[in-house]
Amino acid sequence: MSKRFKAGPDILSRIHLAVAPGELVALVGASGCGKTTLLRMVAGLESTSDGTVEVLGTTAAKACALRQVGVAFQRAALVPSRTAVENVQLTLTITGKSSGHDPAQLLREFGLGDHLNAYPHQLSGGMQQRVNIAAALVHQPQILLLDEPLGALDEITRESMTEWLAGVLGRTRPTTLLVTHSVEEAVVLADRVVILSRYPGQIAYDLSVDLPRPRDIWGKPSEEFQATVRRVRSHLHAVLRATGL
Ligand SMILES: Nc1ncnc2c1ncn2[C@@H]1O[C@H](COP(=O)(O)OP(=O)(O)OP(=O)(O)O)[C@@H](O)[C@H]1O
Ligand SMILES: [Mg+2]
């Protein structure tokens, strides 16, 4: 599919991307290459200009209406007047799904057992992002769209959150598209790393990550892990150089 806004140039051009059930694909690329737009199209929030987006055998908008898609964006979208557990509960109320995880239990698993009744302003940035991610997956969607869910965190918090996210996604295995600016994060989490070029956004590389899990970056990262990070980074840099950055 391709995407342009009004009479403007193609933002995304001839994107052909298939994601298998349970697969986690990381999308990386320069700022402005169309990653968020791509995610919004898969979420049914934005239409295509050419071609189609198919989600679970139907249109993106229908799949979203069936509440099969969970979305978490970079900034935690929490309701300030509701507690952590109430924010997660809200997804179940909105989607009308009572069969998902128990919000309190999920937050306990996410290490927030002592903060169930805290309001967003009483939580740290990393805690808010965990609540945000919990709210995206509490109703057990088949598809999960994460747009820089760990953005705006310091490096140490980000590393521990990456490990935590790897654990959560490893257990529940939703089909996931993850946008990130961190090559390490992509290599820890993903089955494939898709690198987008820009002006227009096109798939420049689609690299598979064949590393055993769990992929520990805390201890001593394996030679294989480091080699994969180097491989992805060199492809990414080649794409960035080619588009003038
Ligand atoms: N509603 C819109 N109307 C017009 N142009 C838009 C609209 N939404 C996005 N764009 C343009 O599309 C391009 C891609 O934007 P997008 O937000 O998808 O990039 P991104 O890859 O997510 O960037 P970042 O890494 O900075 O988040 C940008 O040039 C942006 O200006
Ligand atoms: Mg974006």
Check residue 244 and give its pLDDT: 66
Q: Whose CA is nearest to atom 5 of ligand 1?
A: 5
Instruction: Locate 133 and state its tokens.
Output: 């991610």
Q: Whose CA is nearest to atom 3 of ligand 1?
A: 5
Any idea which residue has 């805390």 for tokens? 218
Q: Whose CA is nearest to atom 31 of ligand 1?
A: 32
33 lines ligand 1 (CB under 6 A): yes
The Cα 91–Cα 52 span in angstroms is 28
The Cα 1–Cα 84 span in angstroms is 38
Q: Which residues pair with 71 in a beta bridge?
A: 145
* Domain 1-40+145-245 architecture: 3-Layer(aba) Sandwich (3.40)
Q: What is the pLDDT along the chain (245 residues), one digit of tens a residue?
A: 999 999 899 999 999 999 999 999 999 999 999 999 999 999 999 999 999 999 999 999 888 888 888 999 877 789 999 999 999 999 999 888 877 789 999 899 888 999 999 999 999 988 998 899 999 999 989 999 999 988 867 788 788 888 888 988 888 899 999 999 999 999 999 999 999 999 899 999 999 999 998 887 767 889 999 999 999 999 999 999 987 65
Question: pTM, whole model, 2 decimals?
Answer: 0.93
Check residue 245 and give its pLDDT: 55
What is the residue type of 235? H
The Cα 69–Cα 25 span in angstroms is 15
**Residue from 1, 5, 73 to probe ligand 1 pocket by mutation (most atoms less than 8 Å from CB):** 5
36 lines ligand 1 (CB under 6 A): yes
49 lines ligand 1 (CB under 6 A): no
Check residue 38 and give its pLDDT: 96
The alpha carbon of 123 and the centre of ligand 2 are apart by a number of angstroms equal to 24
| Domain residue ranges in the chain | 1-40+145-245, 69-141
- Structural element, H or E, at residue 159: helix 155-172
